[in-house]
A = this chain, B = another copy of it.
Amino acid sequence: MDEETDGIPQNRPAARDIDATDRKILGVLVDDATISYAELGERVGLSPPAAHERVKRLRRSGAIRNTAAIIDPKAVRKPLLAFVHIDTKGWGKTPELMAISEHPEVEEIHSVAGDTCMLIKVRTEDTRALEGLLSRLYETPGVTSTRSYVVLSTYLERPVQPGITTEWPTPRHMAKPLY
């Protein structure tokens, strides 16, 4: 029940840096966010209220965007995953992006270096639904061509793991490029 002065996220006073304890907390909560604060505190070496405080701060600062149920795509009968390239020649960005994100099958939209295209990830029930989506995409203003890659099997899908590259003992300023 974090109360904001209104619904829009404010510019916060420069959220303090994430420390090692915060990373531990994130690591635990990425794995399982249903545990109690007592359990969380025990795992990271804090009292329940202290752990609670940390989590609240991580939420406020935006480090924890959301706490969500991860759904098995098969359970909702959307086992077909595909990546689609969309040609983006002469785009004004926002309106076209909005139009694309209207399609609920679209899970991700990325701009890719090295080509004037977007890479979008879509999930549908079967190939016919993918076909339908592609034709709807093609009718979307700004989309001049699409090229889709169906995924045969997915072997790994995991959330962002905190504290991997950042756990390095060498701070950034010590990693001097040689070139």
Question: Is A162 part of the contact surface with B, judged by Cβ < 8 Å?
Answer: yes
Question: Is A54 part of the contact surface with B, judged by Cβ < 8 Å?
Answer: no
Q: Is the CB of A30 within 8 A of B71?
A: yes
Least CB separation from A117: chain B residue: B149
Q: Give the interface size bracket for A toward B.
A: 35 or more
When distances are taken between beta carbons in the complex, the residues of chain B under 8 Å from A70 are 64-68, 159-160
Q: Is the CB of B26 within 8 A of A69?
A: yes
Q: Is the CB of A77 within 8 A of B166?
A: yes
Q: Is the CB of A149 within 8 A of B119?
A: yes
Seen from chain A, the residues whose Cβ lies within 8 Å of a Cβ on chain B are: 18, 23, 26, 29-34, 58, 61-73, 75-78, 81, 83, 97, 100-101, 104-114, 119-120, 123-125, 128-129, 149-166, 175, 177
